[in-house]
Copies of this chain bind each other. A is one copy, B any other.
Amino acid sequence: MHHMSQNLAYSQTLILSDFSNTRTQMGALRLPSLTSIFAISSGRSSLFLRRSKQLHVRKLTSTTKIFAQSTPATEVAPPESNQKPLSQEQGITPRSQDFNAWYLDVISMAELADYGPVRGTMVIRPYGYAIWEAIQDYLNVKFKETGHSNMYFPQFIPYSFIEKEASHVEGFSPELALVTVGGGKELEEKLVVRPTSETIVNHMFTQWIHSYRDLPLMINQWANVTRWEMRTKPFIRTLEFLWQEGHTAHATLEEAEKEAMQMIDVYTKFSYEEAAIPVIPGRKSRVETFAGADKTYTIEAMMGDRKALQAGTSHNLGQNFSRAFGTQFADENGQRQHVWQTSWAISTRFVGGIIMTHGDDAGLMLPPRLASVQVVIVPIWKKANEKNEVLDAALSIKDVLHTAGIKVKLDDSDQRTPGWKFNFWEMKGVPLRIEIGPRDVSSKSVVVSRRDIPGKPGKVFGISMEPSVLIPYVKEKLEEIQLSLLEKATSFRDSNIVDVSSYDELKEAISQGKWARGPWVGSDEDELKVKEETGATIRCFPFEQPQGPKKCLMTGTPADEVAIFAKSY
């Protein structure tokens, strides 16, 4: 535990405190080294590739041809490009060989999503949608616990609304989808399909807020939003996506700031505890601040290819929208004042972040707390007379685990071999597999395999079927996997962040594909210069700052804060 970063220590405290309330206490961690995992993993991948040819799944086009096409010459993809013959089935491209192709393969073969008929749109399939539902289930409770109510605003916004807040229109107007015809008639005022809802929210808040007694007003909506993106990628950047957007109005700047910080903290906790993603929370630079916000807070995650993903944001909007829309309240002295506001969002992009953080050459790897199938049971028999007793035992184990609140699936299909099923459910990222054959039935025990430790090291034989043994064993393993995924991702992240003290060091780190962390008081122009010359942007000024005097890596003048630079999605 000596080399653990501050963030991981933080996250473990969170998790352990949570466990002590609601889950069984965990034993000590026994983690394999990263090298041993990857060595085994790549050793197995050839087996996987061979077997996976049998899988009846269609691959997405693994390059940018359809989805990420940069010129929207035609908005509707030709149907034939989406209808590949089954013979094109292949295994998953190795992650190290082509990260983007690997990502698209996992999405396709694990049946997470598919391309919609309109360029840049995505169909979220049941197995992918279940991840989003798990995210919703957790956040929805947290939002209500922190005093927010759900509601719903119309998605059509008069075009004139978008123009009211100057930086907002500048930020969003290039990405708008416009409805110009309704009911067969040309509309007098064209309508924007919401790219975000601050404008219509303020239009309504202005009608609902009269006095300080109406504050704070704290709401959230789960909705679809549309941004006409030119370069798209499933989950990460799609023309339409799903998200939640919180909107609040307060009587003071301090309250609004506290709320914006509270919500980025909710997102941070969610990322560490549920998604096992060691995000770095921090403040955006002025250049990267949301169009219409005074301050933007972000959680930045390192993907498997070491690019950064902005995984959630929380904005202190100041009085920008309340001034544009005249959202005022009478304070306790009867004085009219503009409200102070926040907004904050997490989207289906987060699903992409989970895939790109934990996945490996065998496919998806889901953190147990977000997995819709936590345990898959694969029964094994050779002779017909073995089948019944094996299936009976498997079914009874399924019932035992299900009753204990574990999300369990029994794959009892006749049409596939156990080997095929092993590969299939590994590709689907199911955290634990229980194997049961005739000899296990005789000894009243099962074999348990961990998805995150491939091959023999992750396999334990002879676990008793006895519910009093099996249930706590499975629960403990799931918790171990949950924490192990977080530890692995944290080690990976920390070994790929370089502390730099000069622009040359920054360029060197970025050119190696790493993140660079260094003191910064540069101007907006300096920041844009870094972007132009290295492709990296300031991801955030992290909340956790090193102590002591610092000098800006660019200007050499005294700096209060370090910033993190990285290439990003």
- Where the two chains meet, the residues of A that have a C-beta atom closer than 8 Å to any C-beta of B are 56, 58, 72-76, 79, 82-83, 86, 114, 116-118, 121-126, 128-130, 132-133, 149-158, 160-161, 173-185, 187-191, 193, 200, 203-204, 206-208, 210, 213, 219, 223-224, 226, 228-230, 239-240, 242, 415
Q: Please report the C-alpha to C-alpha distance between residue A128 and residue B153 in the assembled complex, in whole angstroms.
A: 12
Given contacts A149-B129, A178-B179, contact A117 B203 (CB under 8 A): yes
- Contact of A149 (CB < 8 Å), options: B126, B151, B185: B126
B154 lies within 8 A of A122 (CB): yes
Known: A74-B189, A182-B72, A188-B74. A121 touches B207 (CB 8 A): no
Query: Contact: B116 with A230, CB < 8 Å?
Result: no
Assuming the A-B contacts A72-B183, A193-B193, are A207 and B56 also in contact, with contact meaning beta carbons closer than 8 angstroms in the complex? no
How distant is the Cα of A191 from the Cα of B230 in the complex, in angstroms?
17
- Least CB distance, A157 to chain B, in whole angstroms: 7
Asked, given contacts A129-B149, A177-B181, A200-B117, whether A154 binds B123 with beta carbons under 8 Å apart, the answer is yes
CA distance A121 to B415 in the complex (A): 51
Which residue of B124, B206, B230 contacts A151 across the interface (Cβ within 8 Å)? B124
A157 pairs with B191, CB closer than 8 A: no
- Not counting A116-B204, A117-B203, A193-B193, a sample of 11 additional A-B residue pairs whose C-beta atoms are within 8 angstroms of each other reads A73-B188, A74-B189, A116-B153, A116-B200, A125-B151, A126-B149, A156-B240, A178-B180, A179-B179, A183-B229, A224-B224
Does A123 contact B152, Cβ atoms closer than 8 Å?
yes
Which residues of B lie under 8 Å from residue A151 when comparing CB positions?
Answer: 123-126, 128-129
| Contact (A129, B114) CB under 8 Å given A86-B210, A175-B183, A178-B179 | no
Contacts of A124 in B (CB 8 A): 151-152
**What chain B residues lie within 8 Å of A133 (beta carbons)?**
150
Total copies of the chain: 2
| Contact assessment for B126 and A150 in the assembled complex, using a CB-CB cutoff below 8 Å | yes
A173 contacts which chain B residues (CB < 8 A)? 184
A213 to B56, CA, bound (A): 11
Contact assessment for B118 and A158 in the assembled complex, using a CB-CB cutoff below 8 Å: yes
| Bound-complex Cα distance A128 to B125 (A) | 30
> Is the pair B189, A183 in contact by a Cβ cutoff of 8 Å?
no
18 contacts between A and B (CB under 8 A): A72-B185, A74-B189, A76-B160, A82-B207, A116-B153, A116-B200, A117-B161, A118-B157, A121-B156, A129-B152, A155-B240, A156-B240, A174-B184, A178-B179, A178-B181, A178-B182, A183-B229, A193-B193
List of B residues within 8 angstroms of A230 by Cβ: 183
- A123-B153, A151-B124 are known contacts. Are A183 and B174 too (CB-CB below 8 A)? yes
CA distance A177 to B228 in the complex (A): 17
Interfacial chain B residues near A86, Cβ < 8 Å:
210
Q: Roughly how many angstroms separate A184 CA and B206 CA in the complex, as a whole number?
A: 30
Q: Kindly list chain B residues whose C-beta atoms are within 8 Å of the C-beta of A178.
A: 179-182
Report whether A76 and B182 are in contact in the complex, using a CB–CB cutoff of 8 Å: no
Return the chain B residue nearest A183 by Cβ.
Answer: B228
By a CB distance below 8 angstroms, the chain B residues around A226 are: 156
**Other-chain contact of A121, B116, B154, B161 (Cβ < 8 Å):** B154
Q: Which B residues are in CB contact (< 8 Å) with A213? A: 415
Chain B min CB distance to A308 (Å):
25
Q: Which residues of B contact A153 (CB under 8 A)?
A: 116, 123
A226 to B194, CA, bound (A): 14
| Partner among B83, B210, B239 whose Cβ is within 8 Å of the Cβ of A207 | B83
Q: How many Å lie between the Cα of A443 and that of B121 in the bound state?
A: 65
Task: Say yes or no: B158 contacts A117, CB within 8 Å.
Answer: yes
Residues of chain B within 8 A of A149, CB atoms compared: 126, 129-130
* Residues on B with beta carbons closer than 8 Å to the beta carbon of A72: 182-183, 185
**Chain B: minimal CB distance from A95 (Å):** 26
Q: Which residues of B contact A73 (CB under 8 A)?
A: 188
Nearest first, the 4 closest Cβ-Cβ pairs linking A and B are A183-B228, A126-B149, A121-B154, A116-B154
Determine the distance from Cα of A347 to Cα of B207 in the docked complex, in whole angstroms. Answer: 27
Complex-state Cα separation, A208 to B82, whole angstroms: 11
Q: Name the distance in Å between A73's Cβ and chain B's nearest Cβ.
A: 8
CB distance from A249 to the nearest CB of B (A): 14
- The CA-CA distance from A151 to B240 in the complex, in Å, is 14
- Chain B: which residue is nearest A325 at the CB level? B79
Known: A72-B183, A75-B188, A178-B180. A129 touches B117 (CB 8 A): no
Question: B154–A240 contact, CB under 8 A?
Answer: yes
Distance between Cα atoms of A242 and B224 in the complex (Å) = 12
Name the B residues within 8 Å of A152 (CB-CB). 123-124, 129, 132, 242
Instruction: Knowing A189-B75, A189-B76, say if A123 contacts B156 (CB, 8 Å).
Output: no
Which residues does chain B contribute within 8 Å of A126, judged by CB atoms?
149-151, 219
Are B56 and A210 neighbours in the complex by a CB distance under 8 Å?
yes
A122 and B126 alpha carbons, distance in the complex (Å) = 30
In the complex, residue of chain B having the shortest beta-carbon distance to the beta carbon of A122: B154
Cα A161 to Cα B117 in complex, Å, equals 10
Taking the nearest CB of chain B, how far is it from the CB of A364, in angstroms?
17
Q: How far is the CA of A116 from the CA of B72 in the complex (A)?
A: 32
Chain B residues near A161: list those with CB within 8 A: 117
The chain B residue with its CB closest to the CB of A238 is B154
Instruction: Please state if A75 and B187 are interface contacts (CB–CB under 8 Å).
Output: yes
Say whether B224 contacts A118, CB under 8 Å: no
Chain B residues with CB under 8 Å of A190's CB are 181
Given contacts A153-B123, A242-B152, contact A76 B158 (CB under 8 A): yes
